[in-house]
A and B are shown apart, each in its own frame.
Chain A
Amino acid sequence: MTDVERLFRTYNAALVRYLTRRLGDRDWAEEVAQETFVRALRQTSIQNERAWLFAVATNLVRDEARKDSRRRKHLALLAEQERETMVEPEETTLERAQEAAMARKAVDALAERDRLALLMREEGLDYNEIAEALELSPGSVGTTLSRARRRLVESYEALQKDREAREKNAAS
Chain B
Amino acid sequence: MQHPDEGMIHAWLDGALSAEEAARLEAHLKECPKCAAAVAEARGFIAASSRILTALDDAPRGVIPAARPKRRFDTMMVRIAASVLVVAAGTLVVVRNQGSETRSEASTRDTTSAMRVAGPASTAAAPAPSQSAPIDGLPNAAETGAVALSQKASADNAVAAPTPDPVPTSEQRSDQVAARRDLSKIGTAQGTGVGQTGAGRAGGSEKAPGYKTAPAPAPPVAALPFPTASRVAGVAALDGAVPSESLKVIDTTRRIGTNITVYEVAGDTVTLTESVSMELSSLAVTGAAAAPAAQGAIQVEGSPKRAVTAMGAPRPDSVTRKPTSPPASAIPPASQGRALREAVEAIHTITWSDPATGKTFTLAGKMSEARLQQIRLRIERERAAAAKINR
Q: Which residues of A contact B (CB under 8 A)?
A: 17, 20-21, 23-29, 31, 71, 74-75, 78, 96, 99-100, 102-104, 106-107, 118-119, 121-122, 126-127, 140-150, 152-153, 156
- What string of 1s and 0s marks CB contacts (under 8 Å) between B333-354 and chain A? 0000000000000000000000
B48 proximity list for chain A (CB < 8 A): 149, 152-153, 156
| Bound form: Cα–Cα A130–B267 in Å | 47
Asked whether, in the complex, the Cβ of B59 is within 8 Å of the Cβ of A122, the reply is: no
| Bound form: Cα–Cα A127–B8 in Å | 12
What is the chain B residue whose CB lies nearest that of A99? B55
Asked whether, in the complex, the Cβ of A27 is within 8 Å of the Cβ of B64, the reply is: yes
A29 proximity list for chain B (CB < 8 A): 59
B55 proximity list for chain A (CB < 8 A): 96, 99-100, 102-103
A25 proximity list for chain B (CB < 8 A): 59-64
What are the nearest 4 A-B pairs in CB distance? A143-B7, A142-B11, A142-B7, A103-B55
A150 proximity list for chain B (CB < 8 A): 6, 45
| Bound form: Cα–Cα A107–B52 in Å | 9
Q: Known A145-B10, A152-B49; judge A100-B64 contact (CB<8 A).
A: no
- What string of 1s and 0s marks CB contacts (under 8 Å) between B62-79 and chain A? 111110100000000000
- What string of 1s and 0s marks CB contacts (under 8 Å) between B9-33 and chain A? 1110011100000000000000000
| Bound form: Cα–Cα A26–B8 in Å | 34
Least Cβ distance of B10 to chain A in Å?
Answer: 4
Q: Known A28-B64, A142-B8, A153-B49; judge A21-B56 contact (CB<8 A).
A: yes
Q: Is the interface of A mostly helix, strand, loop or mixed?
A: helix
Least Cβ distance of B286 to chain A in Å?
Answer: 52
Is B279 among interface residues, defined by CB-CB distance under 8 A? no
What is the chain A residue whose CB lies nearest that of B15? A126
Asked whether, in the complex, the Cβ of A146 is within 8 Å of the Cβ of B16, the reply is: no
- What string of 1s and 0s marks CB contacts (under 8 Å) between B162-176 and chain A? 000000000000000
Least Cβ distance of B315 to chain A in Å?
Answer: 48
Is B37 among interface residues, defined by CB-CB distance under 8 A? no
A17 proximity list for chain B (CB < 8 A): 57
| Bound form: Cα–Cα A78–B42 in Å | 32
What is the chain A residue whose CB lies nearest that of B10? A146
Q: Known A31-B68, A71-B64, A146-B10; judge A26-B59 contact (CB<8 A).
A: yes
B57 proximity list for chain A (CB < 8 A): 17, 20-21
B44 proximity list for chain A (CB < 8 A): 153
Is B50 among interface residues, defined by CB-CB distance under 8 A? yes
A74 proximity list for chain B (CB < 8 A): 63-65
Least Cβ distance of A86 to chain B in Å?
Answer: 14
User: Among the interface residues B15, B52, B65, which one has the most CB atoms of the partner chain A within 10 A?
Assistant: B52
Q: Known A27-B64, A31-B68, A71-B64; judge A118-B59 contact (CB<8 A).
A: no
Least Cβ distance of B60 to chain A in Å?
Answer: 7
B45 proximity list for chain A (CB < 8 A): 146, 149-150, 153
B53 proximity list for chain A (CB < 8 A): 21, 103, 107, 118-119, 122, 152
B59 proximity list for chain A (CB < 8 A): 20-21, 23-26, 29, 100
B46 proximity list for chain A (CB < 8 A): 149
Asked whether, in the complex, the Cβ of B60 is within 8 Å of the Cβ of A103, the reply is: no
A141 proximity list for chain B (CB < 8 A): 11, 16
Asked whether, in the complex, the Cβ of B50 is within 8 Å of the Cβ of A122, the reply is: yes
B63 proximity list for chain A (CB < 8 A): 24-25, 27-28, 74, 78
